[in-house]
Amino acid sequence: MNDVLPDVVNVWQFLEQAAREVFAVYGFTEIRTPVLEKTELFCRSIGETTDIVEKEMYTFADKSGHSMTLRPEGTAPVMRSFIQNRLAARDPVTKLCYIGPMFRYERPQKGRYRQFHQIGAEAIGVEDPRIDAQILLMLHHFFTRIGISAVSLEINSLGCPVCRPDYRGQLIQYLEELLEPLCAECQRRYQTNPLRVLDCKVEACRLATADAPAMIDHLCGDCDQHFSQVRHYLDLLNVPYVVNARMVRGLDYYVRTTFELVTDQLGSQNAVAAGGRYDGLIESLGGPALPGIGFAIGLERLVLMLDKDADRTLLPELFIAALGSEAVEKAFVLMSKLQAQGVHAEMDFHGKSLKAQMRRADKLGAVHTLIIGDEELRSGQAQLKKMADGSQVSVHLDSLLKTLRPKI
To ligand HAM, the closest distance from the beta carbon of 305 in angstroms equals: 11
Q: Residue 324 — φ and ψ, nearest 5°? A: 100, 145
To ligand HAM, the closest distance from the beta carbon of 72 in angstroms equals: 7
Nearer to ligand HAM, 43 or 296 (CB): 296
x/- letters, 231..270, toward ligand HAM (CB under 6 A): -------------------xx-------------------
Q: Candidates 113-121, 184-192, 232-240, 350-358 — which segment interacts with ligand HAM by CB under 6 A?
A: 113-121
To ligand HAM, the closest distance from the beta carbon of 3 in angstroms equals: 15
Choosing from 23, 28, 71, 73, the residue that interacts with ligand HAM (CB under 6 A) is 73
Q: In Å, what is the CA distance from 35 to each residue of 18, 78, 141?
A: 23, 11, 28
Give the count of beta carbons closer than 10 Å to the beta carbon of residue 394. Answer: 10
Choosing from 295, 305, 330, 347, the residue that interacts with ligand HAM (CB under 6 A) is 295
If one asks whether residue 104 binds ligand HAM (CB under 6 A), the answer comes out as: yes
Q: Helices 39-46 and 75-84 sit at what angle, rounded to 10 degrees? A: 110
Q: Residue 37 — φ and ψ, nearest 5°? A: -135, 165
Choosing from 14, 294, 320, 347, the residue that interacts with ligand HAM (CB under 6 A) is 294
Cα(198)–Cα(173) distance, integer angstroms = 14
If one asks whether residue 282 binds ligand HAM (CB under 6 A), the answer comes out as: no
Bridge partners of 29, per DSSP, are 96
Choosing from 271, 305, 321, 370, the residue that interacts with ligand HAM (CB under 6 A) is 271
Cα(297)–Cα(36) distance, integer angstroms = 20
Residues 116-145 that bind ligand HAM (CB under 6 A): 116, 118, 120, 122
Whose CB is nearest to ligand HAM? 298
CA atoms within a 13 Å half-sphere pointing along the CA-CB vector of 10: 11
If one asks whether residue 47 binds ligand HAM (CB under 6 A), the answer comes out as: no
If one asks whether residue 301 binds ligand HAM (CB under 6 A), the answer comes out as: yes
If one asks whether residue 382 binds ligand HAM (CB under 6 A), the answer comes out as: no
Q: In Å, what is the CA distance from 142 to each residue of 8, 16, 248, 277, 302?
A: 20, 11, 24, 20, 12
CA atoms within a 13 Å half-sphere pointing along the CA-CB vector of 306: 27
If one asks whether residue 276 binds ligand HAM (CB under 6 A), the answer comes out as: yes
Tell me the CA end-to-end span of the chain in Å, nearest whole number: 37
Choosing from 275, 287, 291, 316, the residue that interacts with ligand HAM (CB under 6 A) is 275
- Give start and end residues of each alpha helix (H) in 53-160: 75-84, 129-145
Choosing from 43, 53, 133, 274, the residue that interacts with ligand HAM (CB under 6 A) is 274
To ligand HAM, the closest distance from the beta carbon of 242 in angstroms equals: 17
What is the helix, strand, coil percentage profile of the chain, to 5?
Answer: 40, 20, 35
Instruction: Give me the residues that bind ligand HAM (CB under 6 A), please.
Output: 73-75, 104, 106, 111-113, 116, 118, 120, 122, 250-251, 271-276, 294-296, 298, 300-301
